[in-house]
Chain A
Amino acid sequence: MSEPHLSARNVSKLFGPVRALNDIDLQIGPGVTGLLGPNGSGKSTLMKLFAGELLPDEGDVRLLGHDPFHFAPVRRGLGLCPEQDAFYEDLSGYDFVEALTRLNGFSAADARARTAATMKRVGLEIYGRKRIREMSRGMRQRTKIAQAIAHDPPVVLLDEPLTGADPVARADLIALVRALGQEGRCVLVSSHVLHEVEAMTHQVVFIRFGRLRAQGDVFRLRGKLEDRPYRVVLSVSGDARAFGSQLLGLAHVQTVTVLADDRLELTTTDLDDAARGVPALAQAHGVRLTRFTSPDADLESLYRYLVSQP
């Protein structure tokens, strides 16, 4: 296997007596990856380690195979969109992005061309001419993302990239982040808004109390929580009670609760089996199944579970 875009091997970071990160072992490749965790869990510290802003107290951090702290040239391959507003308010969006793009070693003409193309990509072709102090939160956020991608980096770190954006802008930015991942870049997105992360990717890294709690595909990770069966809500037309007793005959179904005359809730250890077995059983007994939903097969359910664990 070749070197991953981002890797942290047994990394620990201390701030005085506080262990912000504890023995993190992580490799992140191309595509979009969500970095999740409650406040103070160590997400920003991990981002700063990958960006070369901090040096780990233990372990080894690599960006594109190099130490980002000591080897400055490798940071040419990095785009960072920090959480806080870090702007020169008197510059226009174009001037700001161009100035930062030039720091990556581009000539003025190159930086100008890249800035124009990137501002168009983030939807600031016209409004980017405004001074940053006159921009809305959403525009500022887009400007921050523009400076992170204008130099075409293979690794992009986005810390809360959707803060302050209106619903339309959020949809646009989500599409942009997905596109960056599809282009083969490694995009690490830290966010508290789970449904937005879910809209960007199913690949997540979950950190709590500075420890790595889970990493991988949301659905596969959810499937590994064997002590926490899936809840499935069914709407049926027909005798729900009788159908419920039939459902108990399926091997993977643990419990069935009749919620109303036409609604049932079952718990199952295997959602895939339930998705195949329940409709087949309904068809065999002449019951019309109008709804099959699992309210806890998503990222939020996984997040709640991981947060609830000590």
Chain B
Amino acid sequence: MMRDEVHAIGYRRLEGPRPVWPGWPIARTLWVLGWRRRATKMSLMACFGVFGVHGVWLVSQLMARRYLNLGPRRGLLTGVDRVVGSVHEVLAAYVSIQFFVTALVIAVVASGAIADDRRAGAFELYFSRPLTRLHYALGKLLGAGLIPFGTLVFPTFVLWLTAVGIAPPGMRSELWWLAVPAVGSAALGAATLTAGIIGLSALGERSLTVCTAFVAGLLLMSGVCEGLVESGFEAWGYLSPERDLRTVVDWLLQVGHDSLSASLLPGRPDGNGSPALSLLALGAWIAAGLLALTWRIRREVRAG
């Protein structure tokens, strides 16, 4: 057999600045694809709506307090509290309700994160590049995770900051400590949604199926578990991520929900009996999502 002469240049490192971390372009592609869908824009508008309603509630509540805090009107404060509620209530209600609306956004944007790659055969293109499985997984989690960060975590922080900024002077000191539980519970919700959609996308075949299954599953579990709890089967409450999150949020923010405003808002029934078990249940949902992602990547991609 003939052997022809061979020359080569060998592997050379890229000259110039340090290579950009490949997780960013993966996340960016997810957003670019998501932004092209009309459903993304519509669900984002719903998010803004929820934020706006809670913002107005919070501002009007605090402005009323500032006004009533003056001299002879001080006596009316307790009555006003009963009507407009407290900052704790606004934040807790925001995290719980926005969790549902954000589920819509993240489902629309990230349902195809892994499923579409698998259908399109994009793994071959991704992993013919200097990319590891970890880069890929982190890139997808980042892409999906920044959506609830933008619609749930950051707005919660903004609401808290607004509250601290416009609260009557005597009230500020009690609002400072709210930052950690409010933002922390929003972050927990964001992590649950991110791991849930990415895990489901890793298991699913089509983005539309994944999107529908995610939203319908969340609503269905919430409704069914709520009904079962009301019928006396309290343990079932821990199977609803929304109810678990609500339980944890209420516990962290020490919310009673007895104001008139809070009672007008949907989805604020009582939570589960044990916040610790709810926290554990949310952790299990997150772990399941990450496990599905790991399984899929290990199955589809052999390269290290």
Contacts and interface: CB of A to CB of B under 8 A. Distances in A.
Contacts of A224: 2
A88 B129 contact: no
Contacts of B261: none
A51, A84, A85 — which one has the most chain B CB atoms within 10 A of its CB?
A51
Given A90-B36, A105-B22, A53 B121 contact: no
Contact of B129 (A66, A75, A212, A217): A75
A147 B124 CA distance: 13
Interface in B7-61: 7-14, 17, 19-20, 22, 24-26, 28-29, 32-33, 36-37
Interface centre among A77, A78, A91 (most CB of B within 10 A): A77
A54 B304 contact: no
Contact of B10 (A54, A55, A65): A65
Contacts of A72: 130-132, 303-304
B302 A103 contact: no
A165 interface: no
Given A55-B302, A72-B131, A65 B11 contact: yes
Nearest to B139: A103
A90 B304 contact: no
B73 interface: no
A147 B6 CA distance: 27
B236 interface: no
B122 interface: yes
Contacts of A53: 124, 127-128, 302-303
B170 to A, nearest CB: 49
Contact of A216 (B4, B29, B120): B4
Given A76-B14, A77-B11, A107-B20, A86 B4 contact: no
Interface of A: 1-5, 27-30, 51-55, 63-66, 68-70, 72-80, 82, 84-91, 95, 99-100, 102-107, 111, 147, 154, 157, 184, 186, 203, 212, 214-217, 220-221, 224
Given A54-B302, A102-B28, A103-B129, 11 more contacts: A1-B5, A2-B10, A52-B128, A69-B304, A72-B130, A75-B127, A75-B128, A80-B128, A88-B120, A184-B9, A216-B4
Interface of B: 1-14, 17, 19-20, 22, 24-26, 28-29, 32-33, 36-37, 116, 120-122, 124-132, 302-304
